[in-house]
């Protein structure tokens, strides 16, 4: 099954957008935005999760410069690279692996465009961020980069499991 790497960036964590007490299941995190205002939009959450069928791994972690530079190595020539690395090391992040049919592409759609001003309403960045340098969440951009990012962020490996709901979600 396809996997993608998702990270709630330090601003998402500091802004309280990840509400651990309300995490009654691992897959809640991916749609944590729906829980920002008093657990509304429960239906949206279930729709996303039922489709994506999240699993595997999740952790709160603070990374150092060398690690952040490695994660964003392909952007090292960009003028914003230094600021980007400062941003990622500025506090803990929530790192996770999500799994499901088409999860890379669907993850991109749900999270929205890089620049929140261009992300559609209803996307996570579109609903909860303003500035491109504070866009609260990362997702892998392709299956191959997901593989690399998962290996970097979860060198200990992924806890594989399958939900009992699997056959009710997948034909």
Binding site for Mg ion (CB under 5 A): 141
Chain centre to alpha carbon of residue 63: 16
The yes-or-no answer on residue 138 being catalytic is yes
> Minimum distance between the CB of residue 43 and Mg ion, rounded to whole angstroms?
30
Map residues 76-95 to x or -, x wherever contact with ligand IDP holds by CB under 6 A. Answer: ----x---x-----------
Q: Which is nearer to ligand IDP, 80 or 170 (CB)?
A: 80
Map residues 101-130 to x or -, x wherever contact with ligand IDP holds by CB under 6 A. Answer: -------------x----------------
Q: Kindly report the backbone phi and psi dihedral angles of residue 121, in degrees, each rounded to the nearest multiple of 5, phi listed first.
A: -55, 145
Q: Which is nearer to Mg ion, 29 or 137 (CB)?
A: 137
135 is in an annotated binding site: yes
Output the CA torsion 6→58→29→136 (10° steps).
-40
Cα–Cα distance between 27 and 97 in angstroms, integer?
10
108 is in an annotated binding site: yes
DSSP bridge partners of 123: 121
Q: Which of 141, 148, 152, 158 binds ligand IDP (CB under 6 A)?
A: 141
Structure tokens at 4: 């993608």
Decide if residue 31 touches ligand IDP (CB under 6 A): no
Q: Kindly report the backbone phi and psi dihedral angles of residue 15, in degrees, each rounded to the nearest multiple of 5, phi listed first.
A: -80, 5
Decide if residue 145 touches ligand IDP (CB under 6 A): no
125 is in an annotated binding site: yes
Place of tokens 């991916």: 30
- Annotated catalytic residues are 138
Binding site as annotated, residues for ATP: 9, 80, 108, 114, 125, 135
């Amino acid at each position: 099954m396809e996997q993608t790497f998702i990270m709630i960036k330090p601003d998402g964590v500091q802004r309280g957008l990840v509400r651990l007490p309300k995490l009654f299941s691992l897959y809640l995190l991916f749609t944590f935005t729906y829980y920002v205002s008093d657990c509304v939009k429960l239906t949206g959450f279930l729709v996303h999760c039922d489709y994506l069928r999240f699993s595997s791994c999740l952790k709160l972690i603070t990374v150092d410069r060398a690690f952040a530079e490695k994660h964003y190595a392909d952007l090292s020539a960009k003028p914003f690279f230094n600021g980007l690395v400062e941003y990622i090391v500025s506090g803990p992040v929530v790192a996770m692996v999500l799994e499901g049919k088409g999860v890379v592409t669907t993850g991109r759609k749900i999270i929205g465009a890089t620049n929140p001003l261009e992300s559609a309403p209803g996307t996570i960045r579109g609903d909860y961020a303003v500035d491109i340098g504070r866009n609260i969440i990362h997702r892998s951009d392709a299956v191959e980069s997901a593989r690399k990012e998962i290996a970097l962020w979860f060198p200990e490996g992924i806890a594989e499991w399958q939900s009992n709901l699997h056959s009710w979600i997948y034909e």
